[in-house]
Amino acid sequence: MARAIAIGLLAGTAPVRADDHPPSASIRVGAAVGELSEPSWFLPEVDLVVHVPIGRAFVSGTIGYAIPDDHTYLADGQDYRVVVEGGARAGKWRASGGLGLDYVLFHADPDVETDHPGVDQLVHRTAVLPTVNAEVAYAIGSATSIGVYGLVALRELRLFDTPSGDHLDARLALVGAFIEVRLR
């Protein structure tokens, strides 16, 4: 029996008492900077995260909202995110990778209404972007963690296209930080 537990610990599948790491829900607040044709930022980001432990490993699901901006193409932006992750826990550290979908809404040129009332050549746009991400978090208390993450869209986002055929596509890439508080 001891040998099976030792092998399980090394493989991350050892039995864990239910009170060691029960399933939990957390609120995560963060910010990110990155590239989407020009420097961009997502501030604030607010997520609801559900973690389900499986020995030293875990799976988690995230539903989130962020406000993207970059002064040019992402005005009036909104980002709704759904992510499924898997990872492992080692002491106070947690690392994971996942796949997600980002539903992005924005206006490519908000100033056109100010500069040319009644003329709106670049309309509001929406897109669904499949994403891949990785994150690392560190527990700073019994219910609080801090962490960093990286996210890259698997396809480009069409920022604008005009009747004359001009267009601009860009790939979303972000690096962010967060604080996560487990709900009791």
Task: In whole angstroms, give the CA distance from residue 112 to residue 140.
Answer: 47
Q: What is the pLDDT of residues 17-66, one digit of tens each?
A: 444 678 999 999 999 999 888 888 999 999 999 999 999 999 999 999 99
Cβ neighbours around 139 below 10 Å, total: 17
Rounded Cα–Cα distance for residues 162 and 2 (Å) = 68
- Confidence (pTM): 0.80
**Domain covering 18-182, topology:** Porin (2.40.160)
